[in-house]
Amino acid sequence: MLPRLYQKILEPNLSRTEYLTLQRLIWVVQGCRNVALSKLAQRFPQPRKAASRLRSLQRFLSREFLSTKKLWFPW
C-alpha cells in the first residue's frame, strides 16, 4: 500500500490498471537487492512468461504518465 499522499496524487492521474501495476512494481522493487528490469520481470506477479512480463514492464515504464513533471505538476 502506498502512503496516502502518493495515493492522492497518483489515483486521479492513472487508470485503475496502471495504478495497480505501479503498486505491484513498487512492491517488487522493495523486495529486490538488484533492480535490473529482467530480475523485476521474473518476480513480477503476473501469470505470463518472464519475457512477456519484461516487455510489458518496459512499455509501462516508458509511458508518458510516469514522468515526474506530469505527476507532480499536473497543471
Q: What is the pLDDT of residues 43-73, one digit of tens each?
A: 888 788 888 988 988 988 888 777 777 666 6
Q: How far apart are CA 71 and CA 75, in angstroms?
A: 9
Instruction: Give me 46's grid cell.
Output: 503476473
φ, ψ of residue 66 in degrees (nearest 5): -90, 5
pLDDT digits (tens, 9 = 90+) for 3-35: 888 888 888 888 898 888 888 888 888 887 778
